[in-house]
Amino acid sequence: MEDFNDINFVNPNHRPFDALNWPLTDSGLPGPVILLAVVLERPASAAD
C-alpha cells in the first residue's frame, strides 16, 4: 500500500496550499462527537 504524504494540492495561483491562517469553523455535526476505538476480529475459520 502506498503512503501519500503530498498530493501536490495547490491554490488557484498554483502556489502550495496553505490553510494555516483560515479561521476555525464549526463542523456542522449535530450533537457531541464521540471517538470510539475499533477492535477488528477475524472470523473463526473451519480449520481452527
Q: What is the pLDDT of residues 23-39, one digit of tens each?
A: 988 878 888 889 999 99
User: What string of H, E and C letters represents the secondary structure of 11-32?
Assistant: CCCCCECCCCCCCCCCCCCCCC
Residue 1, pLDDT score: 59
- Please state, in angstroms and rounded to a whole number, the distance separating the CA atoms of residues 12 and 18: 12
Q: Look at phi and psi of residue 6 and say left if phi exceeds 0, alpha if psi is from -120 to 50, else beta.
A: beta
Q: Which residue has the higher pLDDT, 21 or 13?
A: 21
Residue 22: alpha-carbon gap to chain centroid: 18
